[in-house]
């Protein structure tokens, strides 16, 4: 039997097998909404910078830091040198004996020293003081970031309150391979109560070995400003889920192959044909396409009929494809005849070349 006929029969058998559980058949331009492919969003364009706090300089004082303050009252007495070890609270303030509360967060050590002197003078505590500050301990948090981010790995962020927006911005933002799902696993010994849980965030399980829960956040349903409100404990793991493989099978009167949909991109009917090497024949000769699509839990199959000529002129015909779609460029009497003649001429030419030797 002619090899072309064998291939045609095999393709037809496959189409019948795949379509065996089909319940519906539609024209591409009339495809019901429930059977349309979901559009893929490129999350690398999402900008969380407005919802993240400014990167703290290593030279500035931040909430949670522990300071040593050396103050000389200027009185030239034995007790004129005072040494205090103080911490900076969440509001950015510290409390100094006699002087009281002074806001130091965001200041350099030199600026903080001047601020304490000015507070002392304004409050008539010490009239000729000199101040020297050293940072005894900086408050930092280390978060492990993995998955579809530009700079995966551990990141260190200064400050008492670290949010999911802070973490993702420090990690360089999301790549085009991000699925839009972000999971956060709390630090060892922490509990779910340590993680802020807005309504759009779902608890996804627990790990009894460490006593913490994981949450997942969807970029498609969570307002971006909430990313600036989700507190991330020290030692947490933030994972940005990556899109899995999204192959589309292109077959028939074309070079058969599985086309991989690029990350962060949508692919339409004509795109798939182009990625598969383009049409073998003109669309005036080879025009009809059948798309087999599994929907829901995969038990239902939809058959979609399309036309290459219509798809070129009407975007509703150039439908968006879904992962694992099977696209068949259908055989017809013209394509079969041309392929057969091409095969015969090719075989004759090969025989003539062999005879010449």
Mean pLDDT by 10-residue block, N- to C-terminus, for the chain (357 residues)? 46 47 76 87 93 80 93 86 93 93 93 95 91 91 94 88 92 93 74 49 44 79 92 92 88 79 85 83 74 80 90 89 88 64 50 38
Helical packing angle, 3-18 and 333-356, nearest 10°: 140
CA distances from 165 to 39, 50, 204, 217, 264 (A): 25, 9, 20, 12, 21
Strand intervals (E) in the chain: 22-27, 66-72, 81-87, 93-96, 100-103, 130-137, 140-147, 153-158, 178-185, 201-207, 212-218, 237-242, 247-252, 257-260, 288-295, 300-307, 326-329
Residue 21: the pLDDT is: 47
Tell the residue number behind the tokens 């703290």, with chain if given.
Answer: 56
d(CA 214, CA 321): 33
Residue 335: the pLDDT is: 58
Residue 38: the pLDDT is: 85
């Amino acid at each position: 039997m002619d090899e072309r006929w064998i291939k045609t029969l095999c393709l037809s058998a496959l189409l019948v097998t795949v379509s065996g559980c089909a319940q519906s058949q539609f024209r591409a331009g009339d495809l019901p909404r429930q059977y349309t492919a979901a559009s893929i969003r490129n999350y690398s364009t999402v900008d969380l910078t407005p919802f993240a706090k400014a990167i703290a300089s290593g030279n500035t004082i931040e909430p949670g830091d522990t300071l040593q303050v050396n103050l000389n009252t200027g009185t030239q007495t034995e007790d004129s040198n005072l040494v205090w070890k103080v911490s900076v609270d969440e509001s950015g303030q510290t409390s100094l004996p006699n002087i009281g509360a002074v806001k130091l967060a965001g200041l350099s050590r030199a600026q903080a020293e001047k601020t304490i002197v000015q507070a002392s003078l304004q409050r008539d505590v010490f009239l000729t003081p000199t101040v020297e500050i050293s940072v005894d301990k900086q408050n930092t948090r280390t978060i492990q970031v993995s998955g579809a981010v530009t700079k995966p790995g551990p990141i260190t962020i200064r400050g008492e309150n670290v949010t999911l927006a802070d973490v993702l911005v420090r990690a360089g933002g999301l790549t085009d391979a991000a699925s839009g799902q972000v999971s956060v696993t709390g630090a060892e010994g922490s509990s779910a109560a340590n993680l802020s849980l807005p309504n759009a965030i779902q608890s996804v399980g627990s790990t009894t070995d460490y006593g913490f829960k994981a949450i997942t956040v969807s970029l498609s349903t969570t307002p971006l400003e909430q990313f600036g409100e989700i507190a991330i404990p020290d030692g947490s793991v933030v994972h940005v889920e990556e899109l899995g493989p999204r192959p589309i099978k292109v077959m028939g009167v074309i070079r058969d192959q599985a086309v991989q949909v690029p990350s962060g991109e949508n692919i339409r009917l004509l795109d798939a044909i182009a990625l598969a090497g383009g049409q073998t024949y003109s669309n005036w000769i080879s025009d009809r396409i059948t798309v087999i699509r599994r929907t829901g839990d995969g038990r239902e199959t939809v058959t979609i009929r399309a036309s290459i000529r219509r798809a070129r002129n009407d975007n509703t015909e150039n439908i968006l494809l879904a992962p694992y779609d099977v696209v068949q460029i259908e055989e017809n009497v013209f394509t079969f005849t041309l392929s057969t003649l091409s095969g015969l001429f090719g075989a004759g030419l090969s025989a003539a070349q062999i005879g010449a030797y």
